[in-house]
Chains A and B, each alone.
Chain A
């Protein structure tokens, strides 16, 4: 059942569930951050509307800087602004920032300890028809490896808005991962959000059996993980009902180690789900934590060492093995291990 304490969207399993692009939440969050804090500035590399930074740019033209198609400059100019007390948000497609400008992010932002917020839109394979060049599926790996960086991967537009606002005051560099397409709204305005805190979105009803598998998901694929948990909760299946616990891990760094270890102890089996390369991504981060603290069998849902291609988001998610069916398969597989 959905965790009642988190005040989640109860209509999330309806066919007509509200769908909003995660990047829209960022745009609204940045606008609000700009209203609340005069130090907030926005910089973009010729993708102002795509990244939804246009909402901020239109309201605060004096605090918006258009740098053109120059992502390396984007990162380092933001570092300079932060040196003078500004809180810069820089936006582009994730493939170009933090993709193209990784060294500038490492040296001029993180090594320099400047609180620049790197907003990578169009992350994941579900970017769709644009094809593999524009599908960033390595971005969490290359950002989480840099010291001082906080890595956020919100599950829906509402959480993205909260993550944007929470980023303002961390005093650290932050990478905020956004997606292009419309995805189901799972949270509500009332759902709590805190950087560094994982949340159990789905668990067996009170007094029920102990969960047998823990699914940890990040980003919009969390919805597919929840659909899988709901389906496995039905007694109709061949092996009967399987109790699952599903965690939303929207802070990929720093990891909520306590919550991860608790989930591993409770379930004894972990499946991770992310729209990212398996190597180096969120699942890798989870395994680094659990291998050290409480090793349990794991399965990894993600892209298996390949590049993407053109297609609809749904086609691509299925093709690369990240759909609800694949998650159910992984659960069944891990139960047999």
Chain B
């Protein structure tokens, strides 16, 4: 499905609003992760407003595509996107990480049943997505239309289990499975290539019989095209290695691993929201 010019403008605006909302949620929460949610906002936007077969008014619609967020710590972007898509009120984002909130610090289905999985401990989301894809393969063979999406961080590819799952998906030729790796090059302790080098990442996936697509994770059209291409790949799962800028959208946060696991304080958050509202100063009329 091609993206029209109007759609492109709409998606860019939505991604920006999703970023603004998640920063707001993080300020109120007082803890949580900033860099990953910001850099995945464009991919979440394309998924929820273009690619995914889903119905926010009927979250348990059986025919829906399945989305597994493996690195649960970036849930501010998941929650923000879900709210903007109409799963729950945007106002509710202010309850993030608060006692009794449906928006737990890491996603938990007991509190928010519309989530496909609870997640947090890294490295197990791809396995769960592989299980979902296998279930459809058992029931429908190669004729199955539904797609299973797994969103992964680059750092969690240091977990051996990620590769256990990759091996099985390649062996089972799970063409109904698309994984996305957020290649933002950072993790808690530093830059991935210092903590534990992952390159050559694409070769690793290819070795397990995956089709690999590398994209600019902030280019809406490239993102949408990659998801479309994945649907056309026969006999292999697809991984989209999305090159992203950690903290994307707020220059003060960008490329700095120290923003992996902390929220902005009120002042930093307000600067960030202003940056986003004015698109980095491009819009001069922003109310001071």
Interface residues of A (CB under 8 A from B): 41, 62-63, 65, 67-68, 70, 72-73, 75-86, 88, 103-104, 107-108, 111-113
- Note all chain A residues with C-beta closer than 8 A to B109: 112-113
The answer to whether B165 touches A65 (Cβ under 8 A) is: no
Interface residues of B in 209-235 (CB under 8 A from A): none
The answer to whether A83 touches B118 (Cβ under 8 A) is: no
- Note all chain A residues with C-beta closer than 8 A to B118: 107, 111-112
13 contacts between A and B (CB under 8 A): A72-B161, A73-B130, A77-B130, A78-B131, A79-B131, A80-B132, A81-B132, A83-B66, A83-B135, A104-B124, A107-B118, A108-B117, A113-B109
- Note all chain A residues with C-beta closer than 8 A to B119: 107
Known contacts A81-B131, A108-B117: A72-B168 contact under CB 8 Å: no
- Note all chain A residues with C-beta closer than 8 A to B108: 111
Known contacts A65-B134, A104-B161: A76-B128 contact under CB 8 Å: yes
Most buried by A among B110, B134, B172: B134
- Note all chain A residues with C-beta closer than 8 A to B161: 70, 72-73, 76, 104
Known contacts A80-B129, A80-B132, A112-B118: A72-B138 contact under CB 8 Å: no
The answer to whether A72 touches B160 (Cβ under 8 A) is: yes
Looking at the assembled complex, report how far the CB atom of B71 sits from the nearest CB atom of chain A, in whole angstroms.
13
Interface residues of B in 169-184 (CB under 8 A from A): 172
Residue of B nearest to A83 (CB): B132
The answer to whether B127 touches A77 (Cβ under 8 A) is: yes
Contact of A84 among B124, B132, B165 (CB under 8 A): B132
Q: Please report the C-alpha to C-alpha distance between residue A104 and residue B122 in the assembled complex, in whole angstroms.
A: 10
- Note all chain A residues with C-beta closer than 8 A to B133: 80
User: A77-B134, A88-B131, A108-B127 provided; 20 other pairs, C-beta below 8 A?
Assistant: A41-B135, A67-B168, A72-B164, A73-B130, A76-B124, A76-B128, A76-B131, A76-B165, A77-B127, A78-B131, A79-B117, A80-B133, A83-B131, A84-B131, A86-B135, A104-B127, A107-B121, A108-B124, A108-B128, A112-B118
Q: Please report the C-alpha to C-alpha distance between residue A81 and residue B130 in the assembled complex, in whole angstroms.
A: 8
- Note all chain B residues with C-beta closer than 8 A to A103: 121
Residue of B nearest to A72 (CB): B161
Looking at the assembled complex, report how far the CB atom of B74 sits from the nearest CB atom of chain A, in whole angstroms.
17
**Binary interface encoding of chain B residues 166-206 relative to chain A, with 1 for a CB under 8 A from any of its CBs, else 0:** 01100010000000000000000000000000000000000
Residue of A nearest to B108 (CB): A111
- Note all chain B residues with C-beta closer than 8 A to A63: 138
The answer to whether A72 touches B132 (Cβ under 8 A) is: no
Chain B residues within 8 Å of chain A by Cβ, number? 31
Interface class of chain B by DSSP = helix
**Binary interface encoding of chain B residues 129-161 relative to chain A, with 1 for a CB under 8 A from any of its CBs, else 0:** 111111110100000000000000000000011
Looking at the assembled complex, report how far the CB atom of A232 sits from the nearest CB atom of chain B, in whole angstroms.
49
- Note all chain A residues with C-beta closer than 8 A to B121: 103, 107
Most buried by B among A73, A104, A108: A73
Most buried by B among A80, A83, A85: A80
Looking at the assembled complex, report how far the CB atom of B99 sits from the nearest CB atom of chain A, in whole angstroms.
18
Whether a CB of chain A sits under 8 angstroms from the CB of B261 is: no
Known contacts A77-B130, A80-B134, A84-B136: A107-B124 contact under CB 8 Å: yes
Q: Please report the C-alpha to C-alpha distance between residue A63 and residue B134 in the assembled complex, in whole angstroms.
A: 10
- Note all chain B residues with C-beta closer than 8 A to A104: 124, 127, 161
Contact of A67 among B68, B116, B138, B164 (CB under 8 A): B164
Q: Please report the C-alpha to C-alpha distance between residue A108 and residue B136 in the assembled complex, in whole angstroms.
A: 19
Looking at the assembled complex, report how far the CB atom of A137 sits from the nearest CB atom of chain B, in whole angstroms.
25
Q: Please report the C-alpha to C-alpha distance between residue A88 and residue B108 in the assembled complex, in whole angstroms.
A: 22
The answer to whether B168 touches A77 (Cβ under 8 A) is: yes
Residue of A nearest to B133 (CB): A80
Residue of A nearest to B146 (CB): A84
The answer to whether B138 touches A41 (Cβ under 8 A) is: yes
- Note all chain A residues with C-beta closer than 8 A to B124: 72, 76, 104, 107-108
- Note all chain A residues with C-beta closer than 8 A to B56: none
Looking at the assembled complex, report how far the CB atom of B78 sits from the nearest CB atom of chain A, in whole angstroms.
16
Residue of B nearest to A111 (CB): B118
Looking at the assembled complex, report how far the CB atom of B141 sits from the nearest CB atom of chain A, in whole angstroms.
9
Looking at the assembled complex, report how far the CB atom of A154 sits from the nearest CB atom of chain B, in whole angstroms.
27
Contact of B135 among A67, A76, A85, A113 (CB under 8 A): A85
Interface residues of B in 84-138 (CB under 8 A from A): 108-110, 116-121, 123-124, 127-136, 138
Looking at the assembled complex, report how far the CB atom of B277 sits from the nearest CB atom of chain A, in whole angstroms.
38
- Note all chain B residues with C-beta closer than 8 A to A76: 124, 127-128, 131, 161, 165
Known contacts A76-B124, A80-B127: A70-B167 contact under CB 8 Å: yes
Looking at the assembled complex, report how far the CB atom of B236 sits from the nearest CB atom of chain A, in whole angstroms.
18
Q: Please report the C-alpha to C-alpha distance between residue A75 and residue B117 in the assembled complex, in whole angstroms.
A: 14
Most buried by A among B117, B119, B131, B167: B131
Q: Please report the C-alpha to C-alpha distance between residue A79 and residue B161 in the assembled complex, in whole angstroms.
A: 14
Contact of A68 among B132, B135, B136, B167 (CB under 8 A): B167
The answer to whether A83 touches B128 (Cβ under 8 A) is: yes
Q: Please report the C-alpha to C-alpha distance between residue A36 and residue B83 in the assembled complex, in whole angstroms.
A: 42
Nearest 10 interchain pairs by C-beta: A80-B131, A76-B127, A84-B135, A73-B164, A70-B164, A80-B128, A77-B131, A81-B131, A72-B161, A80-B132
The answer to whether B135 touches A70 (Cβ under 8 A) is: no
